[in-house]
Copies of this chain bind each other. A is one copy, B any other.
Amino acid sequence: MSDHVTIVEVGPRDGLQNEPYTIPTEVKIELIERLADTGLGVVEATSFVAAPAIPQLADAEEVFGRIQRKPGVRYPVLVPNEKGYERARQVGADEIAVFTAASEAFNKKNINCTIAESLQRFAPVLERARADGVRVRGYVSTVLGCPYQGEVPVAEVVRVAEALHEAGCAEISLGDTIGVGTPAKARTMLETVAKSVPMEQLAVHFHDTYGQALANIHACLDAGVRVVDSSVAGLGGCPYARGATGNVATEDVVYMLNGLGMKTGIDLMALARVGDWIAGELDRPRSRTGQAILKRS
């Protein structure tokens, strides 16, 4: 099994999208560029979802158009539909991500359509991406639980992951959106999906709502996954509930991977400095690893 793990840094998109105060475009650009400078190979840059849905990322064109892209680094962007695809392509995006959920109730609330409808909505985007040679990542959320319907059967996760895979997604990210999963369940879910979609094309995306993210990631690494989503400084979630946490912090993931002897190509100290800077900009807490190693150094 490979000892290389690809981190998909989702801070600039998933991390920022729910921040309540408008973050200056300059800060977003600086964040993306500084992240790419730490050795990260994939930095999800922004989202071309309609501005009224996610006002924080309404400057997607400007952000994506202005970043200095580093050779060898991939900068996927979130795309909800053909309109979004066109906007993304106009500013030169060459890798996109589409999203749906394994829970009907969540899709209904979140994107106001059924799972089947969301897959249909992506179909023309995926066709054009294929024709354009654009790599597509597919996000499946609520893979271990849903805030509206509770339990999500693994069979549903498999069905959605399979559909995205067959529709041409090069990678499927399995997201525990509400952070309720624990290691054995996470591993079983991943292994079940991996019977239908090759493990090399799967990624895991955990949230730290109950503090379980790293334990889940470790269990999934044991099962063979080699792509992990995370967010610098744990950006995301609800920053104004004291102590609340959202995405797992990239610093904590890289610290663990280093300890496990796995390779990421990331300079952890440089990453911690970026985390420290953006946490300061957004007045959010630092990651635990960031705080520990910066205090030490």
Chain B: minimal CB distance from A112 (Å): 24
- Interface residues of A, count at CB 8 A: 37
Chain B: minimal CB distance from A146 (Å): 13
Query: Contacts A183-B218, A211-B214 given; 6 further ones with Cβ under 8 A?
Result: A183-B256, A209-B288, A211-B255, A218-B218, A242-B285, A243-B287
B288→A183 contact, CB < 8 A: no
Q: What 6 pairs across the A-B complex have the smallest Cβ distances?
A: A182-B259, A243-B285, A211-B252, A211-B288, A214-B215, A215-B215
Q: Which of A41-76 contact B (CB under 8 A)?
A: none
A246-268 interface bits toward B, Cβ cutoff 8 Å, 1 = contact, 0 = none: 00010010011011110000000
A218: chain B residues within 8 A (beta carbon): 183, 215, 218-219
A195 part of interface (Cβ distance < 8 Å):
no
Q: State which of B210, B285, B289 has its C-beta within 8 Å of the C-beta of A211.
A: B289
A212: chain B residues within 8 A (beta carbon): 214, 252, 255-256, 259
A22→B17 CA distance, assembly (Å): 42
A residues touching B (Cβ–Cβ < 8 Å)? 179, 181-185, 208-212, 214-215, 217-219, 241-245, 249, 252, 255-256, 258-261, 285-289, 291-292, 295
* Copies of this protein in the complex: 2
Q: State which of B182, B256, B292 has its C-beta within 8 Å of the C-beta of A256.
A: B182
20 contacts between A and B (CB under 8 A): A181-B259, A182-B259, A184-B261, A209-B288, A210-B255, A210-B288, A210-B289, A210-B292, A211-B249, A211-B255, A211-B288, A212-B214, A215-B217, A215-B256, A218-B218, A241-B291, A242-B286, A243-B286, A243-B288, A244-B291
A289→B212 CA distance, assembly (Å): 9
B261→A292 contact, CB < 8 A: no
